[in-house]
Amino acid sequence: MHINAPLAETLSVVLLAAALGWAVLRPAGRSEALVAVPAAALVIALGAVSPEHALAEAERLGPVVGFLAAVLVLAHLCDVEGLFTACGAWMARRSAGSPRRLLVAVFALASVITAVLSLDATVVLLTPVVFATAGRMGVRAKPHVYACAHLSNTASLLLPVSNLTNLLAFEASGLSFTRFAALMALPWVVAVGAEYLIFRRFFAADLPAAEPVADDGPAPELPLFALVTVACTLVGFVVASAVGIEPAWAAFAGALVMAGRALVRRRVTPVAVVKAAAPGFLAFVLALGIVVRAVVDNGLADALGHVLPDGSDLPALLAVAALAAVLANLINNLPAVLVLVPLAAPAGTGAVLAVLLGVNIGPNLTYAGSLATLLWRRVVQAREDRVGLGEFTRLGLLTVPTALVGAVVALWASLQVIGV
């Protein structure tokens, strides 16, 4: 069955909105895939996207989804090994009773964890630890918890493996793992630094000065096996990129090593390992990609192609990043990168990376900007804490333009110095 072009375009947009709306609301905690998968089947059945294009999209997303599954398992097993508990003990010890020092510690840990273990680890595993650490110290948790939300997006700029959007952009960029990291290092530092300075001013009332309190307790015991496995996995990413192997295989090896140890020690069950991979969410990502492909094939690509700037000079990069940030807040950052990266690729690596800056920093403006922010909101609400929409938006209006402009300028400078 085939439908005419205007109807196909309308149907694709409506189904995309329905899939994203369900993912935002998730009634009774039901899987995001419950609407996205039928929506993908419907756009194929009605001819809004051809089976060939749907299959091509699934094949393109397959390695990305496989990588995401492996990293989710790896992060969960690091938690089982006690890595995040040790992080909480380190933050408390490093802070010495000072809310300002705790904010520095949270920024440092959240930035590293997001870059290395992906943003999901920061949202799901670090945020509860930050709540508990602030509670033990008797300080207000709000600035530190908000930092987890913002850094799960902003601090995911550094490595190709830090975010699902990064993997999609990495494939189109033509860069090696190390070259990608080198070009994004300065934007990462600038964006995180801008966030920190604004947080200090915005939450000044929640961050009173305090005299350091000596911590004479035992130093936190670090789970060396988990740390060594994560380090070896990172090396595996670099080696895999150098020899043309998908990074998913390195992530799978790290997850397999951690899972084998945990299963032998009976610290997890096989069912728990499978659940950690979030199969429902993986199905949602694949299905969403097919629905987005239908939207692109039926007019969105042409519309955005007329407004997307061409070139890689600084004004063009700023315009590309701004458009990506706006689109991320309108339709979520995952569909935004699926739409924009193929359009930006002909303009060169700089344009692709500018899209990435927009879709990673931009979502800090609204709840719906990224799935990570939506997940963070659920984590906070599960602890019966209120997240004020007005406060969240005011903070985003300060951080997003500042961090985005700074990061784009830093990217342009890196491109001039390092090249592609």
Q: What are 167-210's pLDDT values in tens digits?
A: 889 988 888 889 999 999 999 999 999 999 999 999 999 888 76
Q: Provide the pLDDT for residue 395.
A: 95
Residue 44 in any domain: the answer is yes
- Identify the residue with better confidence: 216 or 270: 270
Q: Which of 54-63, 81-90, 178-187, 359-368 has the highest mean pLDDT?
A: 178-187
The overall longest dimension of the chain from CA atoms, in Å, is 73
Distance of alpha carbon 353 from alpha carbon 169, whole angstroms? 7
Residue 23 in any domain: the answer is yes
Q: What is the mean pLDDT of residues 164-169?
A: 88
Distance of alpha carbon 130 from alpha carbon 134, whole angstroms? 6
| Residue 214 neighbours by CB distance under 10 Å | 7
For 94-144, what is each residue's pLDDT tens digit? 887 788 999 999 999 999 999 988 887 888 888 888 988 888 888 888 999
CB 170 within 8 Å of CB 157: no
Residue 19 in any domain: the answer is yes
369-395 burial: b if 16+ Cβ within 10 Å, else e: bbbbbbbbbebbeeeeeebeeeebeeb
Q: Provide the pLDDT for residue 407.
A: 98
When divided into structural domains, the chain yields a total of: 1
Residue 340 in any domain: the answer is no
Residue 242 in any domain: the answer is no
Selection from 260, 238, 254, 358 nearest residue 309 by Cα:
358
pTM: 0.83
Q: Provide the pLDDT for residue 220.
A: 66
For 387-401, what is each residue's pLDDT tens digit? 677 888 999 999 999
Say whether pLDDT at 212 is over 70.
no
Gap between the terminal Cα atoms of the chain: 45
Residue 75 in any domain: the answer is no
Residue 21 in any domain: the answer is yes
pLDDT band at 155 (very low <50, low <70, confident <90, very high): very high
For 2-51, what is each residue's pLDDT tens digit? 677 778 888 888 998 898 888 777 777 788 889 999 999 999 998 888 89
User: SS3 sequence, 260-292?
Assistant: HHHHHCCCCCHHHHHHHCCHHHHHHHHHHHHHH
- Identify the residue with better confidence: 336 or 383: 336
Residue 224 in any domain: the answer is no
The range of the structural domain enclosing residue 35 comes to 1-48+282-295
Q: What is the mean pLDDT of residues 323-348?
A: 89
Name all contacts of 305-311 with Cβ < 8 Å and 24+ positions apart.
305/343, 308/340, 308/343, 308/344, 309/347, 310/347, 311/347, 311/351
CB 179 within 8 Å of CB 65: no
Say whether pLDDT at 148 is over 90.
yes
pLDDT band at 268 (very low <50, low <70, confident <90, very high): very high
